[in-house]
């Protein structure tokens, strides 16, 4: 089978398309014919030679522990192990493979059943593949870490990216009054996703406006923690879901200290893939509460180019990989 291999750390040009052995499912695993995958900041964090991030995310010390790139995928069950019970050959599924060694950027992947959930019936494979890690990051950041409540004023910083586009829609589902922060070109998209208010960060710094919010979810760290704290209402919460290595490190180191004073909670979150939340998001997508936003679609061989585009930081939604040629009879 064809797969995108990561033999060493570096920029996307170290990736290569290669022929590797088709995996065989173990007793508790499912063999998936991958139809589509999507890329996340997680993927380039695991690829870049940053020792801190490599150790934090469980990668190899001298070279990548997981040779096949990719966490998010959607496809069809081709075979099942003897101890599996949830799925049968032919079932359409989607999932996040981060906890189980990645491997989504390949024609086939073997993963435990718990990594998967039924694919939303009204979504294409590309749409379904766009959801897992970004949607679960937004969901767990808002619901679990941020304790979102109906009627709260919630601000999403980085509202046009992969996590941000899901966060706007999920916050609206929970009944919040949502303010989206994005660039000028993405303001109309944020409104279409349901944002009640939109701030153009190229013209206004929301941390200096005097307005305060019950919950801030930062899909991009950008501002100093002190500025975010200033923009929180009394008793409010700040949740960081992504940013540069420096931003993530500062949040990990300083957020607990900032939370000790002023009655405002500050912290970060790394999504934990689980079937329960994948099923929850499946139901939200089938109900039309949440629709994945796809910026660009690349073929499997185009993963290096796709990752370079994502690394540039201007993706408007998710970057998706079409693993199977659409002319192959799908």
104-128 confidence digits (pLDDT tens) = 999 999 999 999 999 999 999 999 9
The mean of the pLDDT values for the chain is 90
Model confidence at 328, pLDDT cuts 50, 70, 90, reads very low
Write down the pLDDT at residue 151: 98
Model confidence at 329, pLDDT cuts 50, 70, 90, reads very low
> What's the CA gap between 154 and 177, in Å, rounded?
6
Kindly tell me if the per-residue pLDDT of 194 is higher than 60: yes
> What's the CA gap between 18 and 14, in Å, rounded?
12
CB 52 within 8 A of CB 245: yes
Kindly tell me if the per-residue pLDDT of 21 is higher than 80: yes
DSSP 119: P
pTM of the full predicted structure? 0.92
CATH 3.40.50.720 boundaries in the chain = 133-268
Radius of gyration of the chain (CA): 19
> What's the CA gap between 53 and 267, in Å, rounded?
18
State which fold the 133-268 domain adopts.
Rossmann fold (3.40.50)
State which fold the 2-131+292-328 domain adopts.
Quinone Oxidoreductase; Chain A, domain 1 (3.90.180)
Kindly tell me if the per-residue pLDDT of 330 is higher than 90: no
Q: Is 117 helix (H, G, I), strand (E, B) or coil?
A: strand
Model confidence at 315, pLDDT cuts 50, 70, 90, reads confident
> What's the CA gap between 27 and 329, in Å, rounded?
30
Write down the pLDDT at residue 49: 61
Looking at per-residue pLDDT, the higher value among 41 and 251 belongs to 41
Kindly tell me if the per-residue pLDDT of 52 is higher than 70: no
The dihedrals phi and psi of 231, each to the nearest 5 degrees, come to -85, 0
Which percentage of the chain shows pLDDT scores above 70?
88
DSSP 120: P
> What's the CA gap between 231 and 46, in Å, rounded?
32
Which percentage of the chain shows pLDDT scores above 90?
71
CATH 3.90.180.10 boundaries in the chain = 2-131+292-328
Looking at per-residue pLDDT, the higher value among 13 and 326 belongs to 13
CB 226 within 8 A of CB 266: no
Q: How many CB atoms lie within 10 A of CB 150?
A: 8
> What's the CA gap between 17 and 68, in Å, rounded?
10
């Amino acid at each position: 089978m064809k797969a995108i291999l990561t033999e060493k750390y570096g920029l996307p040009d170290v990736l290569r398309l290669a022929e590797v052995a088709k995996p065989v499912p173990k007793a508790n695993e499912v063999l998936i014919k991958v139809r589509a995958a999507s890329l996340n900041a997680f993927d380039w964090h695991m690829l870049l030679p940053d020792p801190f991030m490599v150790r934090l995310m469980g990668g190899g010390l001298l070279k990548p522990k997981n040779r096949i790139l990719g966490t998010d995928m959607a496809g069809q069950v081709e075979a099942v192990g003897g101890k599996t019970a949830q799925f049968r050959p032919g079932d359409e599924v989607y999932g996040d493979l981060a906890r189980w060694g990645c491997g989504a950027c390949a024609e086939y992947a073997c993963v435990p059943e718990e990594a998967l959930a039924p694919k939303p019936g009204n979504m294409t494979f590309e749409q379904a593949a766009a959801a897992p890690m970004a949607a679960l990051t937004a969901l767990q950041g808002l619901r679990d870490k941020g304790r979102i409540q109906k009627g709260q004023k919630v601000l999403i910083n980085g509202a046009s990216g992969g996590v941000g586009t899901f966060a706007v829609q999920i916050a609206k589902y929970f009944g919040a009054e949502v303010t989206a922060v994005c660039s000028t070109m993405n303001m109309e998209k944020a409104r279409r996703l349901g944002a009640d208010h939109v701030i153009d960060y190229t013209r206004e710094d929301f941390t200096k406006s005097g307005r305060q919010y019950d919950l801030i979810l930062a899909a991009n760290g950008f501002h100093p923690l002190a500025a975010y704290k200033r923009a929180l209402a009394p008793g409010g919460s700040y949740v960081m879901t992504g940013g540069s290595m420096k931003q993530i490190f500062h949040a990990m180191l300083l957020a607990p200290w900032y939370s000790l004073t002023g009655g405002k909670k500050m912290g970060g979150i790394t999504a934990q893939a689980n079937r329960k939340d994948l099923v929850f998001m499946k139901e939200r997508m089938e109900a039309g509460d949440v629709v994945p936003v796809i910026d660009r679609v690349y073929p499997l061989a185009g993963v290096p180019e796709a990752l370079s585009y994502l690394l540039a930081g201007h993706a408007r939604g998710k970057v998706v990989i079409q693993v199977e040629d659409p002319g192959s009879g799908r």
